[in-house]
A and B are shown apart, each in its own frame.
Chain A
Amino acid sequence: MRYDSLLDSLGKTPLVGLPRISPDPTARLWAKLEDRNPTGSVKDRAAFYMVAQAEKDGLLRPGSTLLEPTSGNTGISLAMVAKLRGYQMICVMPENTSAERRQLLEMYGAEIIFSPAAGGSNEAVRVAKGLAAEHPDWVMLYQYGNEANALAHYETTGPEILADLPSITHFVAGLGTTGTLMGTGRYLREHVPGVQIVAAEPRYGELVYGLRNIDEGFVPELYDASVLTSRFSVTSTDALRRARELLDREGLFAGISSGAALHAALAMADKAVAAGQEADVVVVIADGGWRYLSTGAYTGTLEEAEARLEGQLWA
């Protein structure tokens, strides 16, 4: 396959069967390999669409500065797009994210502003919103509320999946900004009667939830619960265990959030088997395991890895 440039190669990722990990020949799992995107994550789709929309809306000029609360993948994707389109990039992220992400951001020329670890990404969002108010010429595309994020999936991810697997019964993905689930979910629900849209939400350690007032929580503006049919909370232990299983049994080296999505996908596949129903379950592999190596997730015993992940943001 040939493309005129890196950005043109965006998306069109493989859908790969997981025959060894599928519980039964009648309940098949299929991995959508989003690590096969230009910077190695599903966020490339959202980043490209958000920048393209901002350009169409006349918000960006050569040399414009982009600002974004992001602990990694979106920042990396945006930094790449910014570099290729001639913009400056500033990322606000919590100080407790993995070293690889910081390095990649800096390599792509992004400037990083760190927010305190305690308070996690809520704090990064708060800090970024404050900075955006102080610098009206900076453009905050705001992945948590920008409809172009979900639109990327409505227009690309969803149609790709349906074309590859018309018999799809379940779509399972990690829940973060909610863009993947909202966009792909809406598309699939419009075209596949009865399709299940299943969210796998990471459950972090206590440090991340912290002592913030429970009334000051955060729900991404993109989130519309009516698009989902189920939502699971997945612990780091389960996510890690599944990520390791994926590598052991299918040779697929995936990030930890993919392990969380797989955990939920297996639960749905098991339910289908118990109900005597056929299932074709698509699970999103949002990125590869590379950006998590320094977290210690893939070395030692599961218990040791889980202890190391405590307090870290793994998805």
Chain B
Amino acid sequence: MAIEVRIPTILRNYTGGAKSVEGSGDTLADLIADVDSRHSGLQERLVDAAGLRRFVNVYLNDEDVRFIGGLGAPVKDGDTVTVLPAVAGGAR
């Protein structure tokens, strides 16, 4: 089983510079724990006691996970998870 997890620049020191890593799990929480087992410390940057950290956005197949189950969102083979920092971004 392979789920691609895309890592933002700021967190690539945990992945040896890799832009994306693979993992497995039934839920997003499982997946993060699985990735953390090979890239120690990553989980703590993403998750705190209350859940996903405030300035971290996680997208499952481009959809913000906070609207599709959060850490409990089911994930499956072939899914793509993208992690991005919350930014003002944009030209408004």
Cβ of B69 under 8 Å from chain A: no
10 CB < 8 A contacts A-B: A71-B92, A73-B91, A120-B90, A124-B88, A199-B64, A204-B87, A209-B9, A233-B63, A313-B89, A315-B89
**Total A residues in contact with B, Cβ cutoff 8 Å:** 50
Residues in chain B within 8 A of chain A (CB atoms): 8-11, 45, 53-57, 59, 62-64, 66-68, 82, 84-92
Q: Which residues of B contact A314 (CB under 8 A)?
A: 91
A27 to chain B, nearest CB (A): 19
Q: Which of B45, B66, B68, B90 contacts A71 (CB 8 A)?
A: B90
Q: Which of A120, A144, A234 contacts B62 (CB 8 A)?
A: A234
Residue on B nearest A230 in the bound complex, by CB: B67
Q: Which residues of A contact B10 (CB under 8 A)?
A: 209-214
Q: Which of A10-18, A48-56, A218-226, A273-281 contacts B (4 or more CB under 8 A)?
A: A218-226
Verify A120–B87 contact, CB threshold 8 A: yes
A150 to chain B, nearest CB (A): 14
Alpha-carbon separation in the docked complex, A261 to B31 (Å)? 29
Whether A215 contacts B55 in the complex (CB less than 8 A), given A209-B9, A209-B10, comes out as: yes
Q: Which residues of B contact A83 (CB under 8 A)?
A: none
A101 to chain B, nearest CB (A): 7
Residue on A nearest B19 in the bound complex, by CB: A206
